Structure 1
Amino acid sequence: MIVCRCENVSLANIEEAIDKGYTDLESLKRYLRIGMGPCQGRYCLVLTAKILARKTGKKFEELFMPMNRPPLTPIEFKFFMNKSFTKR
């Protein structure tokens, strides 16, 4: 069963990572890249938290959702564009 479609992470992947010692959402996110796809965890982080609570015996309310890390300073969109497509 796929839990994170964006990063193609399965239930088995999550359970294996928890067994290896990744027992909080932040470490699971870093290890498996859960929530780092286009949906930014909108669907998979809650499912992952429920799996983690079941496997570790923690209450769902005890688990903290990982923090988003926006850039320190805003970056103009023009810097992300391919220079071959921009006018000179």
Structure 2
Amino acid sequence: MKGKIVVCRCEDVTQKDVEESIAHGYADIEEVKRYTGFGTGPCQGKECLSVVAALLAERGDAVALAPFTSRPPLAPTPLKHYAALAALDPASEEEP
């Protein structure tokens, strides 16, 4: 059952996926993120980063454990907040 251990629930990334990315030569946490997609879901890595870091730590490479690049929004943001921004855009106002 080792291959069925889910390390990223948001993106359905398994331990086997992470191990395959390492076997393909992706050596650090950023490369593994880009290959597997872990850490790109709603939690932005809050749930899975430590698990993937532990899998990389088993290899003994401290450089591989540098934090990955997160992309905004860093916290889940309701769409209503983005919709409200349109009202603040002066370019969206019609001229009389």
TM range (shorter): 0.7 to 0.9
- The structure with the largest alpha-carbon Rg is 2
SS of the aligned residue for 1:21 comes to coil
Aligned residues: 75
1:1-88 mapped onto 2 (5 Å cutoff)? 1-54=5-58, 56-59=59-62, 63-70=65-72, 77-78=82-83
Moved >3 Å (runs of 4+): none
Q: Which amino acid aligns with 1:69?
A: R
Shift of 1:70: 3.3
- So what's the TM-score if we normalise by structure 1? 0.73
Per chain length, whose mean CA-contact separation is higher, i.e. which structure has more relative contact order (CA < 8 Å, sep 6+)? Answer: 1
Segments of 5+ residues of structure 2 without an aligned counterpart are 74-80, 87-96
Segments of 5+ residues of structure 1 without an aligned counterpart are 82-88
- The percentage of counterpart residues that share the same residue type is 43
- So what's the TM-score if we normalise by structure 2? 0.67
